[in-house]
Amino acid sequence: MAGLVRGQFISLGELRDRALTDRDELWQTARSVDREAKLYLHWTAGRYGQFYDDYHINIDADGSVYITADNLAEIKAHTWRRNTGAIGIALACCAGATSNSLGDEPPTDIQIECLAQVVAVLCTCMDIPLNGAHVMTHAEAANLDDYGPDTTWERWDLWFLKDGDQPGSGGDIIRGKASWYRDGELNESRVKGL
């Protein structure tokens, strides 16, 4: 993991503007390696308030969104073999988490809701399909590459969101919430007006 950074607070409206500006470059970067643009969802395995520059976007315990990239098409080291043409988004949480417990600083309800809102804005403004092939937790991506919960448990970010949740439910919950925001609360006409 790269170093701790401060990050710059960004509103959803400012994120929308950044996404619209960086959309074409993100897609060009993805296509340069014969891929489609994607979003990868993480936790930092750190403390609340600690942001890392491995990710384009960090979300704090209170739902504050911080950007740590000058350009959303910038290649960052967030998901093994999947960084080109991809945006890494992380929740600042889960220090001391184990496969049985999310630790003393688990994802907060507001972090999860803000993550879903960020996903809705990025998918809407960057023309990224909001489905499991284009928006994945690190655990889901790691399972595809044989280093996730189905094999080594090396990376299991957001495999579940709350202690006691069904294992593997995290991605579906986040995508479901993001779809709700995209189709209702944050539909495209409202996103344009942020």
**Which amino acid does the sequence have at 93?**
C
- What is the pLDDT at residue 124? 97
Residue scoring higher pLDDT (99 or 66)? 66
Pairwise CA distance, residues 111 & 107, whole Å: 6
Q: How confident is the model at residue 6 (pLDDT cuts 50, 70, 90)?
A: confident
- What is the pLDDT at residue 144? 87
Best CA proximity match to 121, nearest among 23, 29, 9, 52: 23
Residue 189: pLDDT over 50: no
- What is the pLDDT at residue 100? 87
Per DSSP, the three-state class of 41 is strand
pLDDT digits (tens, 9 = 90+) for 108-164: 999 999 999 999 999 999 999 999 999 999 999 999 888 888 998 999 999 999 999
| Tally of CB atoms within 10 A around 67 | 18
Q: Where do we find the tokens 């919430």? A: 177
Total tally of structural domains belonging to the chain: 1
Residue scoring higher pLDDT (152 or 29)? 29
Domain encompassing residue 131: 4-192
Q: Give the helix ranges, DSSP H, for the chain.
A: 12-31, 109-126, 138-144, 170-180, 188-192
CATH number of the domain at 95, please.
Answer: 3.40.80
